[in-house]
Structure 1
Amino acid sequence: MGAAHPVRDPIRVSWERSHASQVDVDRPAPVYFDRIDRETTLMRAARPVIDALSAELHNEPVCIILTDAKGVVLDRRGGDPALLRRLDSVDLAPGFQYAESAVGTNGIGTALEVCGPILVDGAEHYNGKLRMFSCAGAPITHPVTGGLLGVLDITTQARNSNSILLSFAKLAARRIHERVVEEANALDHALLSDYYAACRHSGGPVLALGDEVFMMNAYAQARFDAIDQAALIDRTRDARGGTKPQIFLTDLPSGTTARMAYRPTFVGDTLAGGVIQIKEQRLPARGHQVTRFPVVPGTTGTSAVWQHIIQEMLDACSRSEWLIADGEPGAGKLSLLRAVRRHVAPDRRLAVLDPAVTGEDLVAEARAELESGADLIIRRAHLLTGEALDGFTELLQSVRDGATAGEAWVALTLPADRAEIADQLLAFFPRTVEVPPLRHHVEDVPALVRSLLAKAGINGLTFSTATMNQLMRLPWAGNITHLRSVLAAVARRRRSGVVELADLPPECRATTRRQLTAIEALERDAIVDALSTYDGDKKASATALGMSRATIYRKIREYGIVT
């Protein structure tokens, strides 16, 4: 694309990255995100700074722009009408992502790529439409982790550019950083205060968790071994970010049931984190006798957590007690209900109906199944609404009254958050069993792998120790269903032999514990594929992806990619 004069090295390298990303040189194409979180640490810290700066620059032809760490514009202030119209014409507005890979060299995306402040003047922009502007971007980092929070960008028309723009952007970014420090100190102090108070008053195990803080008191470290500690830490994921007190139980690998009471900590209206007090709930001791769990065909897993759930279902089914199985999608609710009921009542037929499949005919089909002497499971019962819900409620009442089906047994499956289930249905089901997500019993992964492969008719595959350990480190957002799909992907590539790390899909070679956006997942997979192609050579991989080495190292750490 060339220029009239030689360009600075940072700009030249940015052009090379832009070219490798196949950025359109004629028209920027930023991605739009319709949801912007306006209550983040960055937004809270930046708001008063940007308010003050926009007031100072009220009559100046410059615009103040704040983005997140992905280059998505969060706020845009100031600027005269002519400048704002020009910014709108290139979609440099809230919600649009000005990443370098999408729009080429620019003050926002390039500052993120080089992890430092930069001024991009007029003709230095890769995209022709952006050359009417000059923009200075300065990154804002977190005071604790050092991670990027976003960019403060000052943009003006190219004819108004001067070197003060960059100094101004750096000053504004520094002010925001200082406010982030102040808030972090206040939030951490409040959380620490509540944590120490809980330690003093409870005399037992206490955990504290914030955005960047995790604490475990000495009593918890002494009372629980490393495996139980890992299970407790993982279970705190369900409380993180919670704004209301809650209590939940978790079965630890040692066989202990832990009662975890979470209470949030606030500074004003801002959540600082929360404190969790733990109490152990043990079954009555039976001498030195080892607990033996019944073998239930169709269930896979020997962890204490999984066996406890099976035992709960067995107890209910043995008494023909109607029950609800709730839990995350793919956790195995339906499979468990089927296996346990057939184990308890092998001579009775079991019918499964799904409102999403059966539709308006569900009540008639359910009645027919019950009258034929079958037991019944309604899958995804939260989808029952309107006339179907009323009709099914009447049917259940007629069964309870003995007018229909006699000794029929009925169960429902629900998602983990069953807030939508009607109270009129809950009245018929005296027990709810929470089926744990796979991340709460990862020690069952090896057995599940063997079982799922056998069910798929794949008998020639084995997994190396390193590969199996990696599978046990993953969060498994889709639970057992997710694991099944991963095994299917592995089997499509290899039908026999030993599965090594390189044989796993890209998503399984990273261990980030947060939920990735679709774009982040694509970026992670691209990095994993490049590293595989170039045998782990990060420099070559970065070059192929159009990234700097600093960026690919940061992405590898951020996504937890195993290299």
Structure 2
Amino acid sequence: MSAALPVRDPIRVSWERSHASQVDVDRPAPKYFDRIDRETTLMRAARPVIDALSSELTNEPVCIILTDAKGVVLDRRGGDPSLLRRLDSVDLAPGFRYAESEVGTNGIGTALEVGGPILIHGPEHYNDKLRMFSCAGAPITHPVTGGLLGVLDITTQARNSNSILLSFAKLAARRIHERVVEEANALDHALLSDYYAACRHSGGPVLALGDEVFMMNAYAQARFDAVDQAALIDRTRDARGGTKPLVILTDLPSGTTARLAYRPTFLGDTLAGGVIQIKEQRPPARSQQPARAPLVPGTTGSSAVWQHVTQEMLDACRRSEWLIADGEPGAGKLSLLRAVRRHVSPDRRLAVLDPAVTGDDLPAEARAELESGSDLIIRRANLLTGEVLYGLTDVLQSVRDGAIAGDAWVALTLPADRSEIADQLLAFFPRTVEVPPLRHHLEDIPALVRSLLAKAGVSGLTFSTTTMNQLMRLPWAGNITHLRAALTAVAKRRRSGVVELADLPPECRATTRRQLTPIEALERDAIVDALSMYDGDKQAAAAALGMSRATIYRKIRDYGIVT
């Protein structure tokens, strides 16, 4: 980089970020992503704008480039053959990511970093190969959230550089933004129309949810108290974004069992959101508190949801009713089955078999366990196929016929999506109990934390109120297993005293509810670690990471990082 030439401050800072990111100064090396979603809000809004502009620029030495919020090129239009060949030579093409951290100073990545429009003249590029171009990038933001959707970039050869490029890019970005507004208004109108129709026809509680919209009618607000409302809102996350009708049964803290019937709303082929009608399956008794399940050693949880599922299993076990426990991985299906069965039948041996471990020997092992007088749990029954499935079916039929162990109790565990399971196997199990994910009984987390630490032999740790509240705000995608892993990470760093926010793993200091990509998760963790290192000083953390202050503030908000 030539130090003799005067450099604008934004460019100098961008070079410093590029240097800190160890960008190759000789050749750009953008990463390639082979999957591009063509039906995003940004793509739908940008397509007609880019169509119109590119039709006017055919064979002109100017190229229109659209990227997403990560700098991945989504579309490239216009440009004469010579310019397109040059762009291909540096991989400035659909699928490649032109983030500043990968290719250095450029109109796309630098616009994303500074959070505003910028023109990069040829010599201002950090990478030598990019100095043959001049490019102007203008960010496109969401009209409701203000979040970045992407960048509209205008690129030409350096000898054609002109300040009009930036005006052109800003004008195109503004047109796309306006179309995003129009679509958002149209989608919201479609959702609102379905919501009002449902309110008129149902006469009961109704919810509506879109990307940026959540509505609850007056009947729902009057019928459910604040705690039940919070549980309902949390349960709707399982329906959000769904394109097919869905029915969800959920137990609310009050003891009511609610039936949530979700129906999606479309505007043409575009999902606008969905409307949920709620019916109460079993209203709570008004004169007394809901009955509580007895304390079962080996289980932890006093919430109404957890008490209800425990009671269901107790009832089935006391009747020696064979059952299926389904639920998300890590929700505690096997632990709950074991604890409840041992509580009901403490003198009987309980065997657990897993198709992934026993393989073809599972039917023979199941028969041997049952003949020896054991009860039986088969984990991950969705993995049973072929001869193993037929062999197990024969064993279970022998139990039913009284040929072997006629008094045996058998249970299966299945994942929450109830993966394919043969009808002939399902016929043996008249009862299915859904074990709720941890996010549906977050009030049990304090007790779970104490229990999991005790089981791990950690006795000297307590959690501050702020830290515990943070744990109770997290989605816990891996459920109780996920919580156990987080506590193990805490215990590796601290074995006594009070656990504060800074002691939690990075993922536990962010509250984003969407599923992060591996790259996003690494970025989130790096930001959390930098903030911890500099005692929450965002400017110092941004400098250490090679980010602008605007970028780190945006990412803190996007990832829900607690500072």
Same fold per TM (> 0.5)? Answer: yes
The letter of the residue matching 1:153 is D
Shift of 1:453: 0.4
Cα deviations by residue, 1:28-73 (Å, 9 ceiling, x for unpaired): 2322323222211111111222222222222123332211111112
Tell me, in whole angstroms, the C-alpha distance in 2 between the residues paired with 1:531 and 1:126.
28
Distance of aligned partners of 1:104 and 1:384 in 2 relative to their CA distance in 1, 3 Å threshold: same
Residue 54 of structure 1: aligned partner:
54
The letter of the residue matching 1:319 is R
Secondary structure of the residue that 2:197 maps to in structure 1? helix
Tell me, in whole angstroms, the C-alpha distance in 2 between the residues paired with 1:68 and 1:89.
21
Tell me, in whole angstroms, the C-alpha distance in 2 between the residues paired with 1:385 and 1:84.
53
Secondary structure of the residue that 2:162 maps to in structure 1? coil
Please state if 1:521 is matched with 2:501: no
Shift of 1:460: 0.6
Contact kept, 8 Å, 2:255 with 2:284, in 1: the verdict is no
Shift of 1:411: 1.5
Contact kept, 8 Å, 2:292 with 2:307, in 1: the verdict is no
Shift of 1:289: 6.0
Contact kept, 8 Å, 2:256 with 2:284, in 1: the verdict is no
Which stretch shifts more, 87-96 or 542-551?
Answer: 87-96
Tell me, in whole angstroms, the C-alpha distance in 1 between the residues paired with 2:2 and 2:534.
30
Residue 222 of structure 2: aligned partner:
222
Tell me, in whole angstroms, the C-alpha distance in 1 between the residues paired with 2:79 and 2:404.
73
Residue 368 of structure 2: aligned partner:
368
Shift of 1:223: 2.5
Tell me, in whole angstroms, the C-alpha distance in 2 between the residues paired with 1:324 and 1:269.
38
Distance of aligned partners of 1:362 and 1:95 in 2 relative to their CA distance in 1, 3 Å threshold: farther
Shift of 1:85: 3.4
Residue 93 of structure 2: aligned partner:
93
TM-score (norm 2): 0.96
Tell me, in whole angstroms, the C-alpha distance in 1 between the residues paired with 2:117 and 2:284.
63
Cα deviations by residue, 1:94-139 (Å, 9 ceiling, x for unpaired): 2222111121111111111111111212221111222222222111
Tell me, in whole angstroms, the C-alpha distance in 2 between the residues paired with 1:47 and 1:191.
24
Tell me, in whole angstroms, the C-alpha distance in 2 between the residues paired with 1:95 and 1:427.
49
Residue 32 of structure 2: aligned partner:
32
Q: Taking every aligned residue pair, what percent have the same amino acid on both sides?
A: 90
Residue 83 of structure 2: aligned partner:
83
Residue 466 of structure 1: aligned partner:
466
Tell me, in whole angstroms, the C-alpha distance in 2 between the residues paired with 1:52 and 1:138.
18
Shift of 1:386: 2.6
Shift of 1:286: 8.0
Tell me, in whole angstroms, the C-alpha distance in 2 between the residues paired with 1:284 and 1:231.
16
Tell me, in whole angstroms, the C-alpha distance in 1 between the residues paired with 2:70 and 2:532.
25
The letter of the residue matching 1:146 is G
Tell me, in whole angstroms, the C-alpha distance in 2 between the residues paired with 1:157 and 1:422.
63
Shift of 1:348: 1.7
Tell me, in whole angstroms, the C-alpha distance in 2 between the residues paired with 1:423 and 1:89.
57
Residue 489 of structure 1: aligned partner:
489
Tell me, in whole angstroms, the C-alpha distance in 2 between the residues paired with 1:486 and 1:265.
38
Distance of aligned partners of 1:386 and 1:290 in 2 relative to their CA distance in 1, 3 Å threshold: closer
Distance of aligned partners of 1:214 and 1:286 in 2 relative to their CA distance in 1, 3 Å threshold: closer
Secondary structure of the residue that 1:473 maps to in structure 2? coil
Tell me, in whole angstroms, the C-alpha distance in 1 between the residues paired with 2:217 and 2:287.
31
Secondary structure of the residue that 2:472 maps to in structure 1? helix
Residue 23 of structure 2: aligned partner:
23
Shift of 1:3: 4.9
The letter of the residue matching 1:7 is V
Note the 1:2-401 alignment, pairs <5 A.
2-3=2-3, 5-282=5-282, 285=285, 287-288=287-288, 291-401=291-401
Shift of 1:403: 3.0
Tell me, in whole angstroms, the C-alpha distance in 2 between the residues paired with 1:229 and 1:455.
34
Shift of 1:288: 3.1
Shift of 1:196: 1.4
Tell me, in whole angstroms, the C-alpha distance in 1 between the residues paired with 2:161 and 2:150.
23
Tell me, in whole angstroms, the C-alpha distance in 2 between the residues paired with 1:297 and 1:384.
31
Tell me, in whole angstroms, the C-alpha distance in 2 between the residues paired with 1:385 and 1:524.
41
Tell me, in whole angstroms, the C-alpha distance in 2 between the residues paired with 1:350 and 1:84.
69
Tell me, in whole angstroms, the C-alpha distance in 2 between the residues paired with 1:238 and 1:289.
29
The letter of the residue matching 1:190 is A
Gaps of at least 5 residues in structure 2 are none
- How many residues were matched structurally? 563
RMSD: 1.8
Shift of 1:284: 6.7
TM-score (norm 1): 0.96
Contact kept, 8 Å, 2:369 with 2:375, in 1: the verdict is yes
Secondary structure of the residue that 2:328 maps to in structure 1? coil
Distance of aligned partners of 1:323 and 1:176 in 2 relative to their CA distance in 1, 3 Å threshold: same
Tell me, in whole angstroms, the C-alpha distance in 2 between the residues paired with 1:24 and 1:529.
26
Gaps of at least 5 residues in structure 1 are none
Distance of aligned partners of 1:60 and 1:397 in 2 relative to their CA distance in 1, 3 Å threshold: farther
Tell me, in whole angstroms, the C-alpha distance in 2 between the residues paired with 1:408 and 1:283.
36
Residue 448 of structure 2: aligned partner:
448
